[in-house]
């Protein structure tokens, strides 16, 4: 008799964005003429940069010739891309990394979900609340979280509430934790931590021999000078932190799939008997066993992001999305809504009006103005009463969505 992994039965309902798609598709079936504007899922709409497309075309041509054809590549990524990542994303900020500390992958979602495999099941994890669902769900699947209680929280997870009352800044946990998931600029709130605030987390991790899993997928959208782009800008972070980055939002690779994870060799964890082990070696072993690497053509496209032309082109795209964020932020404020984010991140986080639940507000937006967002409750209990909109639509759709809200939404 084949037995299932019963931890999967502890997952709450369907995946957040699958539930959104189900509701939207149902409404669309019932209202086929509705012109729905989607500002919910964080998918980009601008095409890949010309420099990226040109590099990928050249790489495809190479694959058509025997002398330049490539089969299996290194599971960790090609050196031509890793060296550019280090040179442009880290060395310019005074951060030294070796090439074998950077692992190219098919997405930050994959890596933030898979990283927990190298950690023991007895580790206590801490997550900000609200939180990107993958951090929690992947640990539920592994059996690290226990069962969910009446408050909607898993019994073995330490939740760090982030609400308007604490300016969406998580407080250090009162109990000792082993694995800490941080995402800044934050998804979903769009908020950030200063270097001083982030240093408190690094100091905590060093004192408690904890590991910080730092999702920095949105660092390219940072506008303010005192906001760190990498956790490794903080002294001591290379001893306690793993960092995740992505080309998805930075360069429009959501459908092309390319990202990378940095695991410094200084980062160690322990066996039950107290023996030290490099997490770099464990992650390398995991990747070489379960992952065959990102395609050569895709990695050449990612490398082109770092050319002079590529840098200018992706900056123009990022500026385009952040202009959309300003349009949304200003438009919502003009309606008297309480709004957060949208300054250093492509996400706008708003308080739902009239004490509506986040799913009630979702249905209201969908039915009254045909605009789709993301209910805050889908990101955790502290997300209830909030709602997320993204700046990744076209400027025309973004302006139309705000106009609809101003003219048709009953608030």
| Helix residue ranges, H only, 64-107 | 79-85
Residue 297: the pLDDT is 98
User: Tell me: the pLDDT tens digits for 249-289?
Assistant: 999 999 999 999 999 999 999 999 999 999 999 999 999 99
Statement: residue 13 has pLDDT above 80: no
Statement: residue 75 has pLDDT above 70: yes
Statement: residue 47 has pLDDT above 70: yes
User: Tell me: the pLDDT tens digits for 194-208?
Assistant: 999 999 999 999 999
Residue 23: the pLDDT is 94
- Give percent of the chain with pLDDT exceeding 90: 95
Phi, psi of 157 (to 5 degrees): -100, 140
Statement: residue 401 has pLDDT above 90: yes
Statement: residue 180 has pLDDT above 90: yes
Sign, Cα dihedral of 183, 189, 190, 195: negative
User: Tell me: the pLDDT tens digits for 133-154?
Assistant: 999 999 999 999 999 999 889 9
Instruction: Classify residue 262 as exposed, middle or buried by CB count within 10 Å of its CB (0-12, 13-18, 19+).
Output: buried
Q: Which residue has the higher pLDDT, 42 or 118?
A: 118
For the segment 38-44, the average pLDDT, to the nearest whole number, is: 90
Domains and CATH numbers, the chain: 10-47+309-408 (3.90.1150.10), 53-307 (3.40.640.10)
- Pairing verdict, β 259-262 and 241-246: antiparallel
Residue 12: the pLDDT is 83
Residue 116: the pLDDT is 98
Residue in the block written with tokens 């959309």? 324
CB-based contact 141:7 (threshold 8 Å):
yes
pTM of the model: 0.96
Statement: residue 17 has pLDDT above 90: no
The whole-chain average pLDDT of the chain stands at 96
User: What gap in Å lies between CA 394 and CA 401, rounded to an integer?
Assistant: 10
The confidence band for 14, taking pLDDT boundaries of 50, 70 and 90, is low
278 pairs with which residues across the strands?
A: 268
Statement: residue 191 has pLDDT above 80: yes
Residue 95: the pLDDT is 98
- Pairing verdict, β 211-215 and 241-246: parallel
Of 143, 180, 137, nearest in space to 158 by CA: 180
For the segment 181-204, the average pLDDT, to the nearest whole number, is: 97
């Amino acid at each position: 008799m084949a037995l299932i992994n019963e931890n999967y039965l502890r997952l709450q309902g369907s995946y957040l964005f699958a539930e959104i798609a189900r509701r939207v598709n149902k409404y669309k079936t019932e209202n086929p003429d509705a012109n729905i504007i989607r500002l919910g899922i964080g998918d980009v709409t601008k095409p890949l940069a010309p420099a990226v497309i040109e590099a990928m075309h050249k790489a495809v041509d190479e694959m058509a010739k025997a002398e330049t054809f490539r089969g299996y590549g290194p599971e960790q990524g090609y050196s031509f891309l890793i060296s550019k990542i280090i040179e442009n994303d880290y060395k310019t900020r005074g951060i030294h990394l070796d090439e074998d500390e950077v692992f190219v992958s098919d997405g930050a979602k994959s890596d933030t979900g898979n990283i927990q495999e190298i950690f023991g099941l007895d580790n206590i994890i801490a997550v900000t609340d609200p939180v990107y669902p993958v951090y929690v769900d992947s640990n539920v699947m592994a059996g690290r979280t226990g069962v969910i209680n009446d408050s909607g929280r898993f019994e073995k997870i330490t939740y760090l509430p982030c609400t308007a009352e604490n300016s969406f800044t998580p407080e250090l946990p009162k109990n000792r934790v082993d694995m800490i998931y941080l995402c800044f600029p934050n998804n979903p709130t769009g908020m950030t931590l200063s270097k001083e605030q982030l240093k408190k987390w690094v100091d905590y991790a060093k004192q408690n021999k904890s590991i910080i899993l730092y999702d920095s997928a949105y660092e390219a959208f940072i506008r303010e000078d005192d906001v760190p782009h990498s956790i490794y800008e903080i002294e001591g972070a290379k001893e306690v932190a793993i960092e995740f980055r992505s080309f998805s939002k930075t360069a429009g690779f959501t459908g092309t799939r390319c990202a990378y994870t940095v695991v410094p060799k200084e980062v160690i964890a322990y066996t039950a008997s107290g023996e030290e082990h490099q997490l770099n070696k464990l992650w390398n072993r995991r990747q070489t066993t379960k992952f065959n690497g990102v395609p050569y053509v895709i990695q050449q496209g990612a490398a082109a992001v770092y050319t002079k032309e590529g840098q200018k082109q992706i900056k123009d795209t990022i500026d385009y999305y952040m202009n959309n964020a300003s349009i949304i932020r200003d438009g919502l404020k003009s309606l008297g809504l309480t709004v957060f984010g949208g300054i250093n991140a492509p996400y706008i986080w708003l308080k739902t009006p009239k004490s509506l639940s986040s799913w009630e507000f979702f249905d209201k937006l969908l039915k009254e103005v045909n605009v789709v967002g993301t209910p805050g409750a889908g990101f955790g209990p502290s997300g209830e009463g909030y709602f997320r909109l993204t700046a990744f639509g076209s400027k025309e759709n973004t302006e139309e969505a705000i106009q609809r809200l101003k003219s048709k939404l009953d608030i």
